């Protein structure tokens, strides 16, 4: 029987679009409508890891789930300081279990945020964040700024559903009633559709933002005629554009968080927005990549008080990014085993960190094979959250939404897997 | 369980310091019982504490945690056999909130403000708070649908929307914060008086407040409207407070309770024309409360030291951030509300802070009837709730107040009436302010008292009321109230000698109010259109699912008289 399921959530990017239609036939997803190409391909699925595996003499060998859980528990118990990393593409409920596991084994919980919007979070620690939900921007914003991000390719439905092209109560004309400014180092597809494109030299975000802050603060006279290759005249025009907006919104991406200056860039951008509020209404938001990387930060914050990089080795949460974040731990060889879930560090971490991971026992929990699988010692395939199991995820603006279950599968969900590992940890400890 | 020989205070049942036994059977107070015997001979025994206004869960809280790693470093306690790790002082993690309330002898705490669209997050955090029973009030004061119903004077539709909103949010009551101000903030402005129209909506805060109060009574909700005034936090705002209360005088309550509960009155009892001539107007406010019977308040007492201000009054937080040169978080919520978070420090030598401190105490001491005044710090706005024992000792001892005033800026003597107040509260009054009154004000029939059938929530303190004089032994009072000898929650000992010994999962209260089907249908068809056009999420993904309220207590309300459930 063919079943049409409406208002499905797309578990690809931080937009967490919740208006997707999915057709299911005989327990298989047949058709996805309303999603972008990235989302469709995620929902349609691709090659799955078929069975749990452990590495024996360098080769992965299929085993039962029970054996995999036990082996994973052994690795974690025998480790002095294990790392539990990932969490961006799974549910909040899974992370809750992960935190409990980390508390019991004295491990470190870190999320993929530390290598994407980690600097944004540190910026927020310095300055706070003046934000809103996406609907507020859709209904009100007459100026949208994309800074160091490219939603046309990374968040394909963002502009239509939430930002520059969306129609709302005070923005009935959609794109026509808005101005779009793109700040980037290259002319992206997003930039080509903008009203104004400010092309800046790589690594000069901080100077440009500082100059805008000076102009907005009435100190334009002190500026040189040229700031990091951009003319003062152009900067004054852009500052004027911002000040004269009724409601402005800046979306920023890794172009800002990972160029020279890192969290200082974000700190500066947050200050700019805060100051713009003396003149008009302005908000700012990070373009989060994975669909639940925001949720991972939320769960960690309410559980431990800190949004990422939390070390439970002392029994109480300890947080010091730069010390307790995954790349720092790996590059110092300060962890000796890793549980990797819902992420692919082998493709995303610096080479030295990946080498460190390859040297230690690694447990991988994921529905799909990825480069991390190549050196994992225990591989546990899981059900896909939002397609095969229910759970909670947070959209990039912090709205919590419930993922739906569309089809039944044999695979256990991440919550079930982590609970089983936790049970094995407790049992093995009792035996000793 | 039998609690033997305690000196029991249960003002709701007319018991004021009698030596008696309390029995708990199946989690409830009973005539007699077997099982564990707790020796409470000579000790102070009272119902478990009830906090009617505290910010304990939801996006604001988590924003506070995320922007304040400095705060999370305070109050760190490692995990134990029973407890998960605790962190934080002004913005504790979820576990710490539950443990710390229990240690104070509190068994119930209500989150004071949640937008409907973010209620799922609130419930996720509430679920993580151990031990205490809880609930969350739902924000309606700057909601587009509310304002449109008020503008059209369509009270049937408004009632249907409020009922639906409470159900969608799994909320307990109607919270109104700076009505209309949240919407005006959408384009960076505010409303300046109760008669200042809300931009684009052609309604005034006065109309919003009155309409929601009327609908609240029409729906026979257990709690009244819970109101955070316009102009909160501004010098001279006591006139707004009285003007707003006057608006509600003729509304008839549908239950035996107030028609309006005023949140954190301290922040709305200010005189003066600016910060330079800022002064207390607590006496005028208390006088108003003494002469009328339709309103209750909680204090919002400030505590010297760090705080994290967080409120759905976003323009206020913007002003705070500017005044304090502080970091500032803001969050505007589509069609519903806005909110802000700003860290703060209250300083003894700062004239304004010294007067603010006095105002909270004045409000409590000048209002004659303790049933009208609930003790809160508006946690963590005035300071963290762990400081309640400090406030109790201040209310009970003029000597302690005098000692404190010596350490404050001298304006506390000229700009408040506190130095001249002689009243010293007794244990009955403290029990009313911290248990009986908040339970009655919230409409929690099984809380705040020790009558047969009430929840088996009891706190026992290492204080001998027959032997100490709280007006002199205020240090003993503060120390004793800070670490309950026993906290019993639903008949289970959760605290023994100030330590957590068990951490059961508490329950979550929410209100399901019935309205005529035709009104609901009419409301939903208009609401569907709003979702299509303006919301950024789908209506079917909006309601809080049952999965987020695993331990619910559904309180039925609505337009039909309640049927007896047998």
Q: Which pLDDT tens digit goes with each residue over B132-169?
A: 999 999 999 999 999 999 999 999 999 999 999 999 99
- Mutation site, A138, A164, A305, A317, interface B, largest B CB count within 10 A: A305
Say what the pLDDT of residue B280 is.
Answer: 98
A275 touches chain B (CB under 8 A): no
Q: A35 in contact with B at a CB cutoff of 8 Å?
A: no
Residue B152 lies in a domain: yes
Measure the CA–CA gap between B311 and A265, rounded to whole angstroms: 28
Place of tokens 């590059």: A331
> In chain B, positions 52-111, which contact chain A (CB-CB < 8 Å)?
59, 61-63, 65-69, 71-72, 76-79, 84-88, 91-95
pLDDT in tens, B47-58: 999 999 999 999
Q: pLDDT value at position A431?
A: 78
Residue A66 neighbours by CB under 8 Å, 6+ apart: none
Cβ under 8 Å to B: A residues 356-375: none
pLDDT at B562: 42
Facing residue for B79 by CB, picked from A103, A130, A399: A103
Burial label for A46, CB within 10 Å (0-12, 13-18, 19+), is exposed
Say whether residue B121 is in contact with chain A using an 8 A CB cutoff.
yes
CA angle, A108 as apex, A295 and B98 as ends, to 5°? 60
Question: Do B378 and B175 meet the contact criterion of CB atoms below 8 Å apart?
Answer: no
In a domain, B100, yes or no: yes
Q: How many Å apart are CA B293 and CA B290, to the nearest integer?
A: 8
Over residues B468-504, the pLDDT tens digits come to: 999 999 999 999 999 999 999 999 999 999 999 999 9
pLDDT 10s digits, B509-534: 999 999 999 999 999 999 999 999 99
Contact yes or no for A133 and B128 at CB 8 A: no
Q: B87 lies in a domain?
A: yes
For residue A432, the model assigns a pLDDT of: 67
Q: For residue B58, give the chain A residue with the closest CA.
A: A302
pLDDT tens digits, residue range B305-355?
Answer: 999 999 999 999 999 999 999 999 999 999 999 999 999 999 999 999 999
Neighbour tally for B267: CB within 10 Å: 28
Q: Is residue B468 part of a domain?
A: no
- For residue B462, give the nearest of B37, B103, B1 by alpha carbon: B103
- Residue by residue, DSSP assigns B468-484 as --TTT-HHHHHHHHHS-
The answer, yes or no, to whether residue B560 has pLDDT greater than 70, is: no
Give the Cα separation of B53 and B379 in Å (integer). 8
Residue B79 covered by a domain? yes
State whether B536 and A162 contact (CB < 8 Å).
yes
Q: Is residue B564 part of a domain?
A: no
Question: In 3D, which of B110, B160, B123 has the Cα closest to residue B140?
Answer: B160
Q: Kindly tell me if the per-residue pLDDT of B561 is higher than 80.
A: no
> Between the CA of residue B429 and those of B176, B361, B396, what are the distances in Å?
28, 14, 9
pTM of the shown model: 0.97
What are residue A365's DSSP bridge partners?
A341, A380
Structural domain including B389 reads 48-451
Q: Answer yes or no: do B77 and A133 touch at CB < 8 A.
A: no
Nearest C-alpha neighbor of A421 from the set A60, A79, A47, A11: A79
Total tally of structural domains belonging to chain B: 1
Exposed / middle / buried, residue B112 (Cβ in 10 Å: 0-12, 13-18, 19+): buried
Closest approach of B422 to chain A, Cα-based (Å)? 42
A-B CB pairs within 8 A amount to 184
Domain contains B73: yes
pLDDT at residue B565 greater than cutoff 60: no
CA distance B404 to chain A (A): 32
- Looking at residue B124, which CATH number applies to its domain? 3.20.20.140
3-state secondary structure of B306: strand
Confirm or reject contact between A399 and chain B (CB < 8 A). yes
Radius of gyration of chain B from Cα atoms?
22
Per-position pLDDT tens, chain A of length 432: 789 999 999 999 999 999 999 999 999 999 999 999 999 999 998 889 999 999 999 999 999 999 999 999 999 999 999 999 999 999 999 999 999 999 999 999 999 999 999 999 999 999 999 999 999 999 999 999 999 999 999 999 999 999 999 999 999 999 999 999 999 999 999 999 999 999 999 999 999 999 999 999 999 999 999 999 999 999 999 999 999 999 999 999 999 999 999 999 999 999 999 999 999 999 999 999 999 999 999 999 999 999 999 999 999 999 999 999 999 999 999 999 999 999 999 999 999 999 999 999 999 999 999 999 999 999 999 999 999 999 999 999 999 999 999 999 999 999 999 999 999 999 999 876
HEC states along A267-310? HHHHHHHHHHCCCCEEEEEECCCECCHHHHHHHHHHHHCCCCCE
Q: Is B530 on the interface with A (CB under 8 A)?
A: no
Is the CB of B328 less than 8 angstroms away from the CB of A274?
yes
Q: What are the chain B neighbours of A138 within 8 Å (beta carbons)?
A: 334, 534, 536
Half-sphere exposure of B122 (CA within 13 A, CB side): 29
CB-based contact B85 A246, cutoff 8 Å:
no
Cβ <8 Å between B76 and A274: no
How confident is the model at residue B563, as a pLDDT? Answer: 44
A316 and B77 within 8 Å at the Cβ level: the answer is yes
Contact criterion met (CB < 8 Å) for B541 and A103: no
Minimal Cβ distance to B330: which of A131, A315, A390? A131
Average pLDDT over residues B70-91: 97
CA distance B346 to chain A (A): 20
B342 vs A contacts (CB less than 8 Å): 128
Shortest Cα–Cα distance, B339 to chain A (Å): 9
What are residue B521's phi and psi, to 5 degrees?
-65, -45
């Amino acid at each position: 029987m063919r079943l049409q399921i409406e208002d499905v959530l797309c578990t690809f990017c931080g937009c967490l679009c919740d208006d997707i239609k999915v057709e299911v036939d005989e327990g298989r997803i047949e058709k996805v409508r309303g999603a972008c190409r990235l989302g469709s391909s995620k929902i349609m699925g691709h090659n799955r890891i078929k069975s749990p595996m452990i590495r024996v003499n360098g080769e992965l060998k299929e085993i039962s789930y029970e054996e995999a859980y036990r082996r994973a528990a052994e690795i974690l118990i025998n480790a002095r300081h294990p790392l539990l990393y990932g969490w961006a593409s799974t549910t909040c409920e899974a992370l809750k279990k992960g935190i409990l596991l980390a508390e019991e084994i004295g491990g470190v919980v870190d999320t993929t945020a530390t290598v994407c919007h980690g600097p944004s979070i540190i910026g927020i620690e310095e300055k706070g964040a003046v934000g809103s939900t996406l609907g507020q921007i859709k209904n009100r914003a007459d100026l949208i700024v994309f800074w160091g991000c490219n939603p046309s390719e990374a968040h394909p439905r963002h502009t239509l559903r939430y930002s520059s092209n969306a129609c709302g109560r005070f923005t009935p004309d959609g794109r026509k009633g808005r101005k779009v400014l793109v700040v980037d180092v290259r002319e992206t597809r997003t930039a080509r559709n903008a009203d104004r494109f400010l092309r800046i030299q790589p690594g000069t975000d901080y100077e440009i933002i500082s100059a805008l802050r000076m102009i907005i603060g009435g100190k334009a006279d002190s500026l040189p005629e040229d700031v990091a290759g951009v003319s003062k005249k152009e900067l004054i025009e852009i500052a004027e554009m911002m000040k004269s907006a009724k409601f402005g919104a800046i979306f920023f991406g890794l172009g800002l968080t990972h160029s020279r200056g890192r969290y200082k860039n974000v700190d500066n951008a947050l200050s700019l927005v805060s100051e713009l509020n003396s003149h008009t209404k302005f908000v700012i938001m990070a373009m989060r990549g994975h669909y639940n990387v925001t949720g991972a930060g939320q769960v960690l914050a309410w559980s431990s008080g800190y949004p990422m990089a939390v070390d439970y080795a002392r029994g109480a949460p300890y947080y010091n990014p730069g010390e307790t974040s995954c790349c720092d731990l790996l590059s110092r060889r300060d962890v000796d085993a890793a549980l990797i879930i819902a992420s692919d560090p082998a493709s995303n971490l610096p080479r030295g960190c990946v080498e460190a991971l390859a040297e230690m026992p690694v447990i991988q929990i994921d529905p799909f094979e990825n480069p991390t699988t190549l050196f994992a010692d225990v591989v546990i395939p899981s059900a896909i959250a939002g397609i095969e199991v229910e759970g909670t995820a947070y959209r990039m603006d912090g709205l919590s939404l419930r993922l739906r279950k569309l089809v039944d599968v044999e695979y256990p969900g991440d919550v079930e897997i982590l609970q089983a590992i936790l049970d094995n940890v407790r049992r093995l400890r009792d035996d000793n | 369980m039998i609690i033997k020989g305690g000196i029991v205070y249960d003002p709701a049942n007319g018991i004021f310091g009698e030596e008696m036994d309390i029995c708990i059977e199946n989690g409830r107070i009973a005539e007699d019982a077997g099982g564990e015997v707790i020796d409470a001979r000579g000790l102070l025994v009272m119902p478990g504490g009830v906090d009617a206004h505290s910010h304990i869960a939801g996006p604001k809280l988590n924003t506070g945690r995320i922007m304040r790693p400095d705060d999370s470093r305070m109050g760190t306690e490692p995990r134990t056999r029973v407890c998960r790790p605790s962190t934080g002082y002004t913005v504790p993690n979820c576990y710490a909130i539950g443990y710390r309330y229990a240690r104070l002898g509190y068994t119930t705490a209500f989150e004071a403000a949640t937008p409907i669209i973010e209620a799922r997050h609130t419930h996720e955090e509430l679920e993580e708070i151990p031990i205490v029973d809880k609930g969350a009030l739902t924000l309606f004061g700057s909601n587009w649908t509310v304002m449109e119903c008020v503008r059209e004077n369509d009270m049937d539709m408004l009632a249907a929307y409020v009922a639906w909103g409470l159900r969608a949010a799994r909320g307990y009551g109607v919270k109104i914060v700076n009505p209309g101000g949240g919407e005006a903030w959408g384009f960076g402005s505010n409303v300046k008086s109760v008669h200042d129209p809300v931009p684009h909506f052609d309604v005034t805060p006065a109309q919003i407040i009155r309409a929601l109060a009327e609908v609240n009574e029409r729906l026979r909700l257990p709690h009244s409207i819970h109101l955070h005034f316009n102009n909160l936090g501004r010098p001279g705002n006591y006139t707004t407070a009285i003007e707003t209360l006057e608006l509600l005088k003729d509304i008839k309550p549908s239950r035996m309770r107030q028609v309006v509960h005023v949140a954190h009155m301290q922040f709305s009892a200010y005189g003066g024309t600016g910060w330079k001539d800022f002064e207390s107007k607590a006496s005028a406010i208390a006088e108003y409360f003494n002469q009328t019977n339709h309103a209750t308040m909680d204090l919002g007492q400030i505590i010297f030291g760090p705080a994290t201000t967080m409120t759905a009054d976003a323009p206020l937080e913007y002003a705070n951030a500017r005044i304090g040169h502080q970091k500032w978080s803001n969050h505007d919520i589509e069609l519903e509300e806005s909110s802000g978070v700003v860290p703060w420090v209250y300083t003894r030598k700062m004239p304004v802070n010294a007067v603010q401190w006095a105002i909270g105490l004045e409000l409590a001491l000048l209002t004659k009837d303790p049933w009208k005044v609930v003790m809160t710090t508006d946690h963590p706005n005035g300071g963290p709730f762990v400081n309640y024992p400090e406030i109790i000792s201040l209310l009970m001892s003029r000597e302690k107040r005098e000692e404190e005033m010596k350490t404050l800026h001298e304006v506390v003597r000229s700009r408040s009436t506190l130095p001249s107040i002689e009243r010293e509260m007794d244990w009955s009054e403290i029990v009313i302010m911290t248990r009986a009154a908040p339970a009655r004000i919230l409409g929690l029939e099984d809380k705040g008292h020790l009558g047969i059938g009430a929840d088996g929530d009891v706190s026992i303190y290492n204080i001998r009321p027959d032997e100490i004089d709280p007006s002199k032994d205020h240090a003993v009072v503060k120390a004793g109230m800070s670490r309950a000898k026993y906290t019993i929650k639903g008949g289970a000992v959760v605290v023994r000698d100030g330590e957590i010994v068990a951490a059961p999962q508490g329950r979550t209260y929410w209100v399901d109010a019935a309205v005529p089907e035709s009104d609901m249908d009419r409301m939903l068809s208009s609401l569907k259109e709003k979702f299509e056009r303006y919301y950024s999420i789908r209506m079917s993904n909006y309601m809080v699912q049952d999965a987020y309220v695993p331990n619910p207590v559904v309180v039925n309300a609505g337009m039909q008289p309640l049927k007896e459930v047998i």
